[in-house]
Amino acid sequence: MSTQSLYKVDADFAAKALVNNEQYQVMYQESITDPDGFWRKHGQRIDWIKPYTQIKKTSFDDRDLSINWFYDGTLNASANCLDRHLETKGDTKAIIWEGDDASEQRTLTYRELHAEVCRFANALKAQGVARGDVVTIYMPMVPEAAVAMLACARIGAVHSVVFGGFSPDSIASRIIDGKSKLVITADEGVRGGRKIPLKANIDQALNNPDVTTVERVLVLKRTGGNVNWQAGRDLWWHEACEGMADQCPAEEMGAEDPLFLLYTSGSTGNPKGVLHTTGGYLVYAAMTHEYVFDYKPGEIYWCTADVGWITGHSYMVYGPLANGATILIHEGVPNHPSPKRLGEMIDRHQVNTLYTAPTLIRALMAEGKEHFDSFSGKSLRIMGSVGEPINPEAWRWYHEVIGHGHCPIVDTWWQTETGGILITPLPGATDTKPGSATRPFFGVKPALVDNEGNILEGATEGNLVMLDSWPGQMRTVYGDHERFALTYFKTFRGMYFTGDGARRDEDGYYWITGRVDDVINVSGHRLGTAEVESALVSHELVAEAAVVGYPHDIKGQGIYAYVTLTKGTEATEELRQELRQWVRKEIGALATPDLIQWATGLPKTRSGKIMRRFLRKIAANEVTNLGDASTLADPAVIDTLIESRLNRN
Ligand code: WTA
């Protein structure tokens, strides 16, 4: 193995780890040569009501696409996260919660969490929610967010969590697509010292005349702030729970019954409802949580992701709770009120595992390591990274300043669609290289292909695909199976296309290079450039817009918009600010363009197609080698755009 910048697994660590390198090799081989046998065994890690006899029936043929795992078994995800721990772990903390203001602290044992979930599940039933109904959850980071998800799972309802930073329009489109009858929210959320008007956003979303399905809104009283109330529709969470029993039978669900929907952005169209089912998802989330974080009973595990993203689903709620872990939930942001907060929380709660995103690490790095002078970090054993490529400088800083040079880092690559981690080091098994997600997890068969779909061997670079299914894979795009086939299985026939590019080095390690489609990744949040463009052109003064990502020191990628105004409109600074606010209002703060360049024309082919590669290069300030512009209808626009470019870094 090449030794440049290699962080070797510590022998003592490996000796105590769940999996060392030899075991990884053996288990990986087994998982690939005999997937049925491998998963037949590992599927038993969760409790089944009726045990499965069938393991895997999957086809990646886009004309006959189907993905089924453990498909004749029955189970309940909430019972797996709660009931089965009651006997041995009833008094163990399931959740430690710290408010945005650190003076607010709460804990819930597994017994208490079970009772809360049952009460709320009974309340949902009393409100008419039945098996198969879609429930929209728009919540702050409080224990009740997990309670709401698990209560849905308990009664067989399908939750659709919408990130609390999304705008009323974004909420409305998700409610419409999912045909939700019921919405769960809070009066307000609190983040970084600011109140977030969650209920008001829901009110506005429900005012949209196209939202016709919602009958009931359950509202958690979090801050006690003023809210508007629509009698007959709105009901307080605590009132809905009044008199409800703290026992609620768990519905017997088929392994392939839906567990949740989660909307995510792609290169075209509206965000897609990614559908995950019950059995395979839970097996995969629990198993990856245990192996990737080398989880040991009694450990305290902190994932900083919001529950509105897939990481919050698989690695804050379902995976760790299925394993009986104690999870830390933080309401706010880990660098507020000061960069010290992260370290203080790790020490205060004796966190053993930290799972966070490169964007936070880069933000802390920019603040300076002196904020960690009084940080002990003694409890920390393992640190994870997720959501975007981690640059080697940030990796090393994370390793040294937070991990004191001895905590293994697991750089985990995966997607909303994959349900769980696919490419990652295992802390006791894999020597790491800063910036590489390293090797596939058990049962995962990655490959690199060229643009024609030919599989490339050896050390090379290409489009990242998966050649076979794994239990946590999404099953369909909600209500649009054809779109599922088209988006993921048609580009390269018979393979799952991730939309990412990657390099594989001489040791077989994967280095994710980023999206190769029109998706950008801003602070680990996925956005389609088409979504931002359509928000911009919906403004009456915008004639045309093209949006690309550009390298950003903290966020990984920033949003760069080229905007052509309607004839006669004056390009003023005020208008630029107005457009930024406009996009924010249309989609949410995370979609706010960082830079808006006024463009009198965009580089188009003679048939009118925008040549985005020129725009990406100009936005990245790479203007010397732009390539052949002769196919453009008007090559002169390039020079004009270069002259007035905004990013000169
Ligand atoms: C990117 C988040 C590099 C990637 C779990 C992927 C990463 C997209 C990594 C999915 C990583 C995620 N290294 N890139 N460790 N993890 N990505 O659906 O481009 O929000 O396709 O899921 O994030 O984002 P999503």
Q: Is 539 annotated as a binding residue?
A: yes
d(CA 356, CA 23): 27
Q: How far is the CA of 500 from the centre of ligand 1 (A)?
A: 9
| pLDDT tens digit sequence for 328-373 | 999 999 999 999 999 999 999 999 999 999 999 999 999 999 999 9
- Tell me if 351 sits within 8 A of 376, measured CB to CB: no
> Residue 212, class by beta-carbon neighbours within 10 Å (0-12 exposed, 13-18 middle, 19+ buried)?
exposed
For ligand 1, whether the C-beta of 361 sits within 6 Å is no
Which residue has the least CA distance to atom 1 on ligand 1? 388
Binned at pLDDT 50, 70 and 90, residue 4 comes out as: low
Give, for ligand 1, the residue of 395, 414, 441 to mutate: max count of ligand atoms closer than 8 Å to Cβ.
414
Atom of ligand 1 nearest to the CA of 309: 20
The whole-angstrom distance between residue 128's C-alpha and the CA centroid of its chain comes to 30
Q: How far is the CA of 61 from the centre of ligand 1 (A)?
A: 25
d(CA 600, CA 606): 17
d(CA 631, CA 603): 10
Which residue has the least CA distance to atom 6 on ligand 1? 415
The 3-state DSSP class for residue 565 equals: strand
pTM assigned to the model: 0.96
Which residue has the least CA distance to atom 14 on ligand 1? 388
d(CA 313, CA 276): 11
d(CA 23, CA 319): 22
pLDDT > 70 fraction of the chain, expressed in percent and rounded = 99
For ligand 1, whether the C-beta of 311 sits within 6 Å is yes
For ligand 1, whether the C-beta of 515 sits within 6 Å is yes
b/e string for 570-592 if b means 16 or more Cβ within 10 A?
eeeeebbeebbebbbebbbebbb
Q: Is 416 annotated as a binding residue?
A: yes
Backbone angles phi, psi at 256, to 5 degrees: -95, 10
How confident is the model over 587-604, as a mean pLDDT? Answer: 96
| pLDDT tens digit sequence for 130-157 | 999 999 999 999 999 999 999 999 999 9
- Tell me if 166 sits within 8 A of 117, measured CB to CB: no
d(CA 14, CA 408): 11
Q: How far is the CA of 507 from the centre of ligand 1 (A)?
A: 22
Tally of CB atoms within 10 A around 621? 15
Which tops the pLDDT comparison, 325 or 609? 325
Give, for ligand 1, the residue of 261, 318, 500 to mutate: max count of ligand atoms closer than 8 Å to Cβ.
500
DSSP letter at 417 equals G
d(CA 498, CA 423): 12
d(CA 447, CA 454): 10
The whole-angstrom distance between residue 610's C-alpha and the CA centroid of its chain comes to 30
Helix, strand, coil percentages, rounded to 5, for the chain: 35, 25, 40
Q: Is 515 annotated as a binding residue?
A: yes
For ligand 1, whether the C-beta of 415 sits within 6 Å is yes
For ligand 1, whether the C-beta of 412 sits within 6 Å is yes
How much is the pLDDT for 269? Answer: 82
Atom of ligand 1 nearest to the CA of 526: 20
Q: Which of 170, 196, 174 is nearest to 185 (CA)?
A: 196
Degrees, nearest 5: CA angle 90-91-95? 95
Binned at pLDDT 50, 70 and 90, residue 631 comes out as: confident
| pLDDT tens digit sequence for 411-462 | 999 999 999 999 999 999 999 999 999 999 999 999 999 999 999 999 999 9
